[in-house]
Structure 1
Amino acid sequence: MKNQIYILIALVLISNYSCAQESEYNSDNFKIQNVEVKHNNELSLTIWSINVKGVAGQTIPKEAGQLDGAPVLGYVFPTNLKPEDVGFSKTEGIVALALTSHPDFDDTPLWDENSDNVYNNDGVIWHPHWVILTKDERVKGGLAVKQFRKEDENVILPPTNPGMPMYMDSPGYAVTTDGSIIKVVVPDYRISHKVNFKYDGVAAFMKVNTSNDELPMLGVYDVFSVASGDLSLPYSVKED
C-alpha cells in the first residue's frame, strides 16, 4: 500500500509536468472532459467510458515501420484494483485498464478486432489491455509497464496475455467509439466481481523499446490530460 501511495504521488507530479509538453498528438481528441464506470447488475458487467472534448479514437499513431520505437496512444483508467483481481500474481504497482491503438504491431493474438479472419493485423484498432504501471524516471512521462525476468517462475499472467515479459494482458473486451466517447465493457467475473473500486482517467502517448536495455519496453512519454486533474483516483463505480 505504501508503495502504491508513493507511485500515486509520482503520478501527480508526472502529470503536472507531462501535460505541458508539446506533441503532435496533443489535441482535443485527448482532452478528457469526463470519466465514468457504471455497473449493470442485471448483465453482471461494468461499462467504462471516457468523454473527450474532441472525437474519441479518431487520432491514431503514425506508423514507425518497425516494433522498436513504435508509438502507442492510450485512453487509460488507473484504478485501485489489485493485480490478483485481474489475473496477475501479487505484485506492486497500479492496475490500469488501457484502451490502445498502435499500427506497427498486433498484441492481441487471440482476437480478430477487424473481423477479417486474420489475427495479427489489428493493432491499429482500439483494444484493451490490463497493465501494471510503475514509476520509471528513464522516460519523460515517468511511468512504464512493469517488466519481469522471463525465467521468473513466480510471475503469473492471465492466459490471454500476449506473451511479452511485462505485466500485460490482452483480455479481448469490446471497445466502441461514438463521437466524443470511447467505451469498454468488462464482465464482472473478469475483475473477480470487484465492482466498488476507485479510478481515474488519463490520455497518454507511449512508445515501445526493443533495442536499449537502459529504457523500459513500454514507457509513457507524454500525459495529455487527467480526468481529476491530480490523479487522486476520486471516482467511484455507479450502479446503472
Structure 2
Amino acid sequence: MKSIVAIIAIATLAFTNAKACDKCGNYNNSNFKIKSTSVTHNKDLGVTIWEIKVDSLAGNTTPKPVGQLNGAPVLGYVFPTTLKPTDVGFNLTDGIVALALTSHPDFDDSPLWDENTDGKFDNDGIVWHPHWVILTEDKRVAGGLAVKEFKKDDKTVVLPKTSPNMPMYMDSPGFNVTTKGNSIKVVVPDYRINNKTDFKFDAVTCFMEVNTGEGGTHSEGGAKPMLGVYKVYSVASGNLSLPYSVK
C-alpha cells in the first residue's frame, strides 16, 4: 500500500504540472470530461459493473491512426484500483492495478477476441476493449505513469493466459464493454478479480502512446516507455486518491 500511495502522490503532481502536447490536445473534449464513476456488485449474477459517465458521448472519440505501431495513439477510460496484481492473474509486484478501456486503430492487442465480429481477430483495436495493466511511476512521460515493463527472460513474471504476449504487465481479458450516451461500462465476473468486492478505485481519462524504439526493438529503460501516459484529461476524484468503494 505504501508504494501505491507514493505512486499516486508523484502521478498527481505530474498531472498538475504536465503541459499538453499538441496531439494530446486534439482529443481533449467533453467526451473525456468525467462526471461520475461507479462499480456496482450484482451478487445474483456474480459480476461487477464498472461505469464512467462523462459530460458528452462516452467512447465517441477514437484516435486517428498514424499508420505504424511506433508512436501509435491510445485513448483510455481507466479505473485505477487497490486490487492486488495476484487478484487479476499477475505475479505479486509493485504498482497500481488498473482496468483500462482503450481504443487504438493502429494495432490489435487482443488476439483471442473478435470485438467487431467480422471473423478476423487482428483488425479491431479501434473498438473499445479492456486491459488489466500494472501502472508505475515513470518520469520519462508528462503524465507520470506507464505500464510496467519486464525483461523477456525474467522467469518470475506471471501473466494471465489471455495476455497479448508483450514484455509488460498487460492482459486482454475480453470483458464486454458497452457505450451508450454519456456512459461507458464493462462487466467483470467476480472470479476474474479473485471474488474481491471491497476494493477502492478512481476513474481517469487519458492519452497514451506506444514507443517501440528505433527499428521497432524497444528495450527496457529506453528513452520512452513502451506504453506511457502523456496527458490526463480528467480525474473523477480530482486528485487520484482512489476514494470510491464498490456499491
Instruction: Judge conservation of contact 1:202–1:226 (CA < 8 Å) in 2.
Output: yes
Letter paired with 1:183: K
- Residues 208-231 of structure 1, C-alpha deviation per residue, up to 9 Å, x if partnerless? 000152210000000000000011
Partner of 2:172 in structure 1? 170
String of CA shifts for 1:22-49, please: whole Å, max 9, x gaps: 6010000000000000000000000000
- Percent identity, please: 63
1:217 maps to which residue? 226
Letter in 2 for 1:237: V
Partners of 2:209 and 2:70 lie apart in 1 by 8
TM-score in terms of structure 1 length: 0.97
Query: Helix, strand or coil: the match of 2:142?
Result: coil
What secondary structure does 1:7 align onto? helix
Check the 8 A contact 1:19/1:225 in 2, yes or no: no
* Residue identity in the other structure for 1:188: D
The 1-side partners of 2:91 and 2:168 are apart by 12
Listed as ranges, the matches of 1:83-162 within 5 Å are 83-162=85-164
TM-score, with structure 2 as normaliser = 0.94
Structure 2 alignment gaps of length 5 or more: 215-221
1:17 CA displacement: 2.6
SS of the equivalent of 1:58 reads coil
2:83 alignment counterpart? 81
Asked if 2 retains the 8 angstrom alpha-carbon contact of 1:161 and 1:169, the reply is yes
* C-alpha deviation, 1:182, in angstroms: 0.2
Q: What stretches of structure 1 of length at least 5 have no aligned partner?
A: none
- Does structure 2 retain, via aligned residues, the 8 Å contact 1:19–1:224? no
- Deviation string for 1:110-156 (max 9, x for gaps)? 00000011000010000000000000000111110000000001100
Q: State the Cα distance separating 1:174 from its structure 2 match.
A: 0.1
Q: Which 4+ stretches in 1 moved above 4 angstroms?
A: 19-22
Counterpart amino acid of residue 41 in structure 1: K
Q: Which residue of 2 aligns with 1:4?
A: 4
Which of 48, 51, 54 lines up with 1:52 in the alignment?
Answer: 54
The whole-number CA distance in structure 2 between the counterparts of 1:71 and 1:199 is: 25
RMSD of aligned residue pairs (Cα, Å): 1.1
CA separation in 2, counterparts of 1:20 and 1:218? 17
Cα distance in 1 for residues equivalent to 2:243 and 2:178: 25
Q: Distance in 1 between matches of 2:20 and 2:74?
A: 19
Deviations 1:183-215 (A, max 9, x none): 000000000000110000000000000015221
